[in-house]
Structure 1
């Protein structure tokens, strides 16, 4: 039964037929308060579930969160004598989880709230600074348990250090996105990243101005034909290196074809500034390579397209910059053109 104050009391009811006549039945009933015993049984059940969950994780970090006391306990690994148990009081009252990496806090809070809402078993990869070891990648495997009160009162599980494996995984992901020769983003990654940026800007109704540059190296075929493809690869790597040195931060540099590159300039000051930077890039990429038949000049033709809210799709922005690039190419090369009605 639930009392007015919300506390649940358990009772054991035993009844026996004492006597019976044609007119009536007499039944004796014994009512015992079984609350303590019930709570003990429930606690034993919780302990059994914890042992079942944690029995195979010796050497890893065990955690136990008690929602009633709002205390989190993280046990130090038995294999590392330098570690010590971490006890965090008022755990759910913490507005800032200082030991969680800033970019991972939102994911951690979402994971925690979902587990405490209803009994479930879930996992999360997150960067944390535990045991004064600096930020490392950990996998949290937790199981939230429904208490006798009718809500989640406990969460137990293990925290596994996956730092080295996670770094290898990230390295492989980066390699999958990179062009092997130039170490710029490959075509697929370039489109994916810029599409994501434009989508975010569109959803947020951003007032920023962005620009897309399409760069095609002039006379590159003459390099391959006269000096060989190996030398051509060196020319591409050198050009890409100059672009990466010039564009950093939120800018995106990618190779989308044999001698064609894309640069997404994030949050530019104005159109005039974009054109000035494009001219500087043209000058930077202009190089002469010696050949027995005479120096081969490699320059660049650049097309520029700018965008603001409402932001276009990537393919539309690319087509604009690409069309402007061909205007530069057909106008004597070694120049840049801004996409517009006067092209």
Structure 2
């Protein structure tokens, strides 16, 4: 029995997924003389599966990776690139609870999406951005060349967070606090890097917020 999945071009020149199943017919001398079977268009089924897989990894509000996917992706990246240095940053939007209390959770959700979009614009698709808590998200940057890059990236992130959200009668100033940890110095996996970055984050909060600190 032969069974496989593949893509072919349809009459509109679009690729579609197909599934084929068949078997080889042999003559009395055990020589293959033909193959019989059928090809079924499974493109809709494939797209539904891809959509489900995408949604399973994404935060529904912001579109970035959810907590589970963020952890898995970072751990997987570290395993494949264990001999280079990486940056892990945890970000907390300053006074987000006050924003929710004053303007409502719906407006708070809009501001959270706005802030994360600001962050997405300054990083490439190769970097991992994920929402790991209510107003907390992580940024992971792989294969950094030197320590100066750490400060450049953290400063770039802080500048992106320091913004103003505008909508009709609203004009809300936003900032964020950032804790930074380094692989392999501060940890060998997601949980260890998160723990160190989280400690640095709370130091920033204690010192007045709207800044970043490298774990020491």
TM-score by length of 2: 0.82
Q: Does the C-alpha gap of structure 1 residues 296 and 167 become closer, same or farther in structure 2, counting only changes over 3 Å? A: closer
Q: Is 1:175 paired with 2:175?
A: no
**Which residue pairs with 1:280 in the alignment?**
156
Q: Does the C-alpha gap of structure 1 residues 267 and 139 become closer, same or farther in structure 2, counting only changes over 3 Å? A: farther
**Separation in 2, partners of 1:160, 1:176:** 27
What does 1:248-287 align with in structure 2 at a 5 Å threshold?
Answer: 248-287=124-163
Q: Does the C-alpha gap of structure 1 residues 330 and 154 become closer, same or farther in structure 2, counting only changes over 3 Å? A: farther
SS in 2 for 1:183: coil
Q: Does the C-alpha gap of structure 1 residues 148 and 197 become closer, same or farther in structure 2, counting only changes over 3 Å? A: farther
2:179 corresponds, among 303, 322, 336, to 303
Listed one character per residue, the Cα deviations across residues 21-40 of structure 1 (whole Å, up to 9, x for unaligned) are: xxxxxxxxxxxxxxxxxxxx
Q: Is 1:162 paired with 2:42?
A: yes
Q: Does the C-alpha gap of structure 1 residues 140 and 234 become closer, same or farther in structure 2, counting only changes over 3 Å? A: same
SS in 2 for 1:333: coil
Q: Is 1:325 paired with 2:201?
A: yes
**Which residue pairs with 1:247 in the alignment?**
123
Report if aligned partners of 2:67, 2:132 keep a CA contact under 8 Å in 1: yes
Report if aligned partners of 2:84, 2:144 keep a CA contact under 8 Å in 1: yes
SS in 1 for 2:144: coil
Q: CA deviation at 1:130?
A: 7.5
2:87 corresponds, among 196, 201, 211, to 211
Q: Does the C-alpha gap of structure 1 residues 130 and 332 become closer, same or farther in structure 2, counting only changes over 3 Å? A: same
Q: Does the C-alpha gap of structure 1 residues 227 and 145 become closer, same or farther in structure 2, counting only changes over 3 Å? A: same
Listed one character per residue, the Cα deviations across residues 249-297 of structure 1 (whole Å, up to 9, x for unaligned) are: 211111111110011113333231122121121122113569xxxx864
Q: CA deviation at 1:235?
A: 0.9
Report if aligned partners of 1:299, 1:334 keep a CA contact under 8 Å in 2: yes
Gaps of 5+ in 2: none
Q: Is 1:187 paired with 2:64?
A: no
| Pairwise CA RMSD | 3.0
Q: Is 1:224 paired with 2:104?
A: no
SS in 1 for 2:4: strand
Q: Which structure: greater strand fraction?
A: 2
**Separation in 2, partners of 1:265, 1:151:** 57
Larger Rg: 1
TM-score by length of 1: 0.54
